[in-house]
Amino acid sequence: MGVITDHLDLWGAAIGGTLVLFFVGGLIALVLGFIVGAMRVSPVPIARTVGAVYVNWIRNTPLTLVMFFFAFCVPVLLRQRIDPIILPTIALGVYTATYVAEAIRSGVNTVPVGQAEAARALGLGFGQVMAFVILPQATRSVIPPMMSVFIALLKNTTVAAGFSVMNLGSVRFDLSEQGENQLVVLLWVMVFFVVMVLLLGWLQRVLERRWRIAR
């Protein structure tokens, strides 16, 4: 326990950095992923093409390269200094959005096509069909894969450690410089991640149970 109690400020900063990366990156991924997912199932060919290009291009690029582009290339293009945590967080959101979009698309595809056609026959537009007919039915099937995406996002936050962002992925290096046993530090990092993943699993069960009751 001395590894933690003797360095509470460092652990606090590391956990705080991980949570910022996770929650802000997750919010970006949800918003952008929802937009791209809607484009992927849109009846407009151009929208489907743009969505497919975005998903296939970003998803097939290693996260490290995506983060490298945001961390080093974007400041050069914008010609200004940016807080080190902002761009890696955006990179996480942009990368994870592709998986969110595919989870939404798979959930939408579980809803029978006839229901969307019937809604359009009643005069509903694409947005209304998605909001009132498709998404309410697709939500239940989307929850498990969506939680898997966010668990992956949580673990991917450690990649930001290589781009000068303080988080649980970088705490080992900082503590090793102060003479702490690296193996013990890594074990504690593992414990923190296991606890957070268990919390996400608990949230998944709560959401699934609540949706099942609502139906």
Distance separating alpha carbons of residues 36 and 208, to the nearest angstrom: 24
User: What confidence score (pLDDT) does residue 213 get?
Assistant: 46
End-to-end CA distance of the chain: 47
**Going by C-beta distance under 8 Å and a sequence separation of 6 or more, which residues neighbour residue 116?**
129, 133, 134
User: What confidence score (pLDDT) does residue 178 get?
Assistant: 72
User: What confidence score (pLDDT) does residue 10 get?
Assistant: 84
Measure CA 11 to chain center.
23
Give this prediction's pTM. 0.85
Instruction: Name all domains of the chain by residue range, CATH numbers in brackets.
Output: 2-214 (1.10.3720.10)
pLDDT digit string (tens) for the chain, length 215 residues: 667 777 778 888 889 999 999 999 999 999 999 899 888 888 788 998 999 999 999 999 999 999 999 888 888 888 888 877 899 999 999 999 999 999 988 888 777 777 777 777 777 777 777 777 777 777 777 888 889 999 999 999 999 888 888 888 888 777 777 767 778 888 888 999 999 999 999 998 888 787 664 44
